[in-house]
Structure formats: structure tokens, C-alpha cells
Amino acid sequence: MSYTLLIRHCHHLLTMAGPDSSRPLAGANLGEWRSISDGYVACRHNRIVALGPMAELDETQVTPETEVLEAQGRVVMPGLVECHTHLVFGGNRAAEFQRKLQGESYLDILAGGGGILSTVRATRAASEAELLAHALHHLAGFRRYGVTTIEAKSGYGLDVATELRLLRVTQQAATLQPARVVATFLGAHVPGPEYHGRPAEYLNMLAADVLPQLDPRQIPFVDIFCEQGAFSVDESRRYLRRARELGFGLKIHAEQLHDLGGCEMAAALGAVSVDHCDYLTPAGAARIAALSGGRTVGVLLPLVPLFLRQEQYAPGRQFIEAGLPVAISTDFNPGSCPSKNLWLALSVACLKMGLTPREALAAVTLNAAWAIGQQEECGSLEPGKRADMLVLNVPTAEEIPYWLGENPVREVIIGGVRQQRE
């Protein structure tokens, strides 16, 4: 069977393929993945079947039926993987932006009934059709930035009915557009307003009334926000243990505002990722790498401290030196990161967290795929993986973070199909 799609004469073909496919890229390997000059990548339907230097292209597989894209002078790379978003919600929090500019902190606004709780009110009031329309709008925005796989958390319902509705909307949105969507249950975002001051009771309710209704084959991950004003380390541990017993993969929001030890606790339970990590120490990162055998990914979210005007950024350079695999995401949400621009997050990771351009590119592709259990499907250009690819309007990897905030995407291919410019 001939190739159905061929991208040829790629000025630089960034494969992201590392030396060990059994674990995420870490340490020196994070920046030492394979890059091919004057390369090609060939697909049959939705799968990559061959890639390499142009001199090795099998011309017999190129027929009049083959769709050919010329990529002279351009970078070709895997589709971006967004591994931490809060995709489905009602309303927005533009009114709180002014309050933040006047000096109110995230926790101050939350304690006054704003923050997450204001989005909860708007989300509960929104219809399922409205939530779906908003989710599809946001997914289209992500695709314009070259995101071909995206994780989507619930967490703005904080009651049984609305949380289940958010998960239904996520699953429906996944079927109505081409990007792969991976659902995470984040009912344990903060205690629901009906459980104010009773976080343990709220978690017990989720464990008894919601988790048993969810199918880990459809909702593969359970997440929790371990932080002052949300849930303690001990409360989070008990809840994640129960989720693990029910067959869910584990994630955690931790060390965002304080060093409480949530990241290490979750890694000890086998969490696939520990997210935020702004107050995680390099020593803690080394312990997480050792606890997990290098398989727990530290998901860094550089646009959050930027938008919240905080000085503390995760020490990404030290994490890499400590052996912790790192990924980069936006944390798209209405309160602390209303941005879908993963390229901007990549640049800020270089500027404020010490990553090199090559490391940051691996962090938004292969390592991000590991952070949501999709490493067998996406994140690198390798035969057998889904044909999710980008053609960029830049000639080298180093230029990608240099053009601050720009979208370099020329072509988006998802499952071997070129996407229409929207």
C-alpha cells in the first residue's frame, strides 16, 4: 500500500524520539532527542509508517494518490500535547483581573467567595449546550496553536450532578472535533460551597457518590488540589488511595503556593504527574525521580505565576539536573491562566525556568504525552504512532521560543488529515 500523506524536504524534522522508550525524557536526554536535516515523514491513513533523511525515501511508495506537502525551509515536529487544562467551565473571571492588579492575592479572592467558587456559580447556572459550545470554541483555539492532544479536567461543579455533567460535556466534545481529548476528574478542586469548612466530608462524598459512577477506561485520571485553602496532604493521600483502588491513574495539583509535600506523597502512590511544582525543591524533585523510577512527570505551568504576578517560578533547570522528567502546559482556566498559547508557555519556561529550546520542545510533546498516559499514541514522530504533526513557519528549533508569543503554525495534521485553517 502506498503512502497516503508525505511531508518531504523538512528543513529540520524534530522527532522527539529518545534513547529509552520505556520512560519520559529526563536529564541530558531531555534535549538530546533525534533531529533530521532535510528529512521526510510518511503516513498511511492515521499512522506514521516511515521517516528519515530524504536520501532514504522509498519513492516507490509515492503515487498520484499520495498527498504531498513540501516543507522546504521549515521545521516539522509532533503535534503539541496539552497535559493540564480546565477546559469546561461557565463564564469568566475578567472582573477579578482588576482586583489582582490592585494587589489582592489568589487566596484572598478565594476566601472571599471569588476565584474557583465564582466560576462554580457560573458553571452550575450554564446549560449543557452552553458548556459544550464553549468547550468546542476553546478546542478550536487550541488547534490553531497546533495542539493535537489535550487533557481536560472537571472541577467547576463541586457537586455530583454538575461534575458528572462536565465529564459528559468533555466526552461529547471529544467526539465532535479531531483532537484527542483525555478526561480527568477534578471534583476535588476545592470543597464545594455546601461543604465549607468540611473538606474531609466533601472528599468522602466524592469517594462514595462520584468515583464509583466513573469508568477509568473513559475517565482515566483522578486529580486533587493539595494546598492551603483546599485539601491537606493527609486528606489528599486518603482520597488518592481510594481512587487508585478503583483503578484510576493519579494526578495532583501541589506545591503551587506552599511547600506542603503533596508532590512527594503523590509520587509515592504512583501518580503519573505532579503539577505546578513552583515551591517544590530540587531535593524534593530528586526524591520524586527516585520514588517513581523516573516515570512521574513534573508538569510546570509558567503562565500561571506570570498571570498572577508572582515571583516564584518552578526551578526547572534544577529539576532537570535532579533527574525529574518535566513537561510544560498552559493550565488554561478562567482564573489563573486564560491563555491557550502553549508556544508562549514554552518561551516563558525558557526565560523563567531555565529550560533550553530543545528541552522545552520535548516538554510540550513527548513528556507531556507521558503526563497523560498517551506516550504510545503521540508526542514523538515514530513509526506506529498517530500521524499528529505540525509544519512551522520557522527554519530551526531555536527560533520557536525566540518569537515571543507568536504562533508559528503553518499546517496542522491530526490523524493523517490536514486541518482547515479556522
Give pLDDT, residue 274: 98
Do residues 9 and 125 both lie within one domain? no
Do residues 98 and 73 both lie within one domain? no
- List, for residues 133-192, the tens digit of each pLDDT value: 999 999 999 999 999 999 999 999 999 999 999 999 999 999 999 999 999 999 999 999
Give pLDDT, residue 403: 97
Do residues 69 and 191 both lie within one domain? no
Query: What residues pair up with 274 in beta bridges, in sequence order?
Result: 252, 298
The answer to the question of residue 375 being in a domain is no
Give pLDDT, residue 108: 78
Residue 354 labeled ligand binder: no
Chain-centre distance of CA 141, in angstroms?
A: 15
CATH code (residue 114): 3.20.20.140
Do residues 73 and 88 both lie within one domain? no
Identity of the residue numbered 331: D
- List, for residues 7-66, the tens digit of each pLDDT value: 999 999 999 998 999 999 999 999 999 999 999 999 999 999 999 999 999 999 999 999
Distance CA 288, CA 298 (A): 9
Do residues 49 and 160 both lie within one domain? no
The answer to the question of residue 38 being in a domain is yes
Residue 74 labeled ligand binder: no
Residue 331 labeled ligand binder: yes
Give pLDDT, residue 103: 81
Do residues 44 and 180 both lie within one domain? no
Do residues 240 and 198 both lie within one domain? yes
The answer to the question of residue 129 being in a domain is yes
Residue 242 labeled ligand binder: no
Q: Confidence class of residue 383 from pLDDT cuts 50, 70 and 90?
A: very high
Question: What is the number of structural domains in the chain?
Answer: 2
Residue 253 labeled ligand binder: yes
Distance CA 151, CA 149 (A): 7
Q: Confidence class of residue 422 from pLDDT cuts 50, 70 and 90?
A: low
- List, for residues 108-121, the tens digit of each pLDDT value: 776 777 788 899 99
Domain extent for 258: 81-370
Do residues 233 and 317 both lie within one domain? yes
Residue 261 labeled ligand binder: no
The answer to the question of residue 289 being in a domain is yes
- List, for residues 235-280, the tens digit of each pLDDT value: 999 999 999 999 999 999 999 999 999 999 999 999 999 999 999 9
Per-chain mean pLDDT for the chain: 96
Residue 1 pLDDT more than 90?
no
Residue 9 labeled ligand binder: no
Distance CA 29, CA 24 (A): 9
Distances (CA, A) of 72 to 13, 32, 54, 145, 208: 11, 23, 12, 21, 57
Do residues 293 and 360 both lie within one domain? yes
Distances (CA, A) of 264 to 159, 216, 299: 28, 24, 14
Give pLDDT, residue 392: 98
Burial class (CB in 10 A: 0-12, 13-18, 19+), 422: exposed
Do residues 65 and 89 both lie within one domain? no
Give pLDDT, residue 109: 77
Identity of the residue numbered 372: I
- List, for residues 284-343, the tens digit of each pLDDT value: 999 999 999 999 999 999 999 999 899 999 999 999 999 999 999 999 999 999 999 999
Residue 12 labeled ligand binder: no
**3-state SS track over the chain:** CCCCEEEEEEEEEECCCCCCCCCCCCHHHHHCCCEEEEEEEEEECCEEEEEEEHHHCCHHHCCCCCEEEECCCCEEEECEEECCECCCCCCCCHHHHHHHHCCCCHHHHHHCCCCHHHHHHHHHHCCHHHHHHHHHHHHHHHHHCCEEEEEEECCCCCCHHHHHHHHHHHHHHHHCCCCEEEEEEEEECCCCHHHCCCHHHHHHHHHHHCHHHCCCCCCCEEEEEECCCCECHHHHHHHHHHHHHCCCEEEEEECCCCCCCHHHHHHHCCCCEEEECCCCCHHHHHHHHHHHCCCCEEEECCHHHHHHCCCCCCCHHHHHHCCCCEEECCCEECCCECCCCHHHHHHHHHHHHCCCHHHHHHHCCHHHHHCCCCCCCCCCCCCCCECCEEEECCCCCCHHHHCCCCCCEEEEEECCEECCCC
Residue 218 labeled ligand binder: no
CATH code (residue 385): 2.30.40.10
pTM, two decimal places = 0.96
Do residues 255 and 297 both lie within one domain? yes
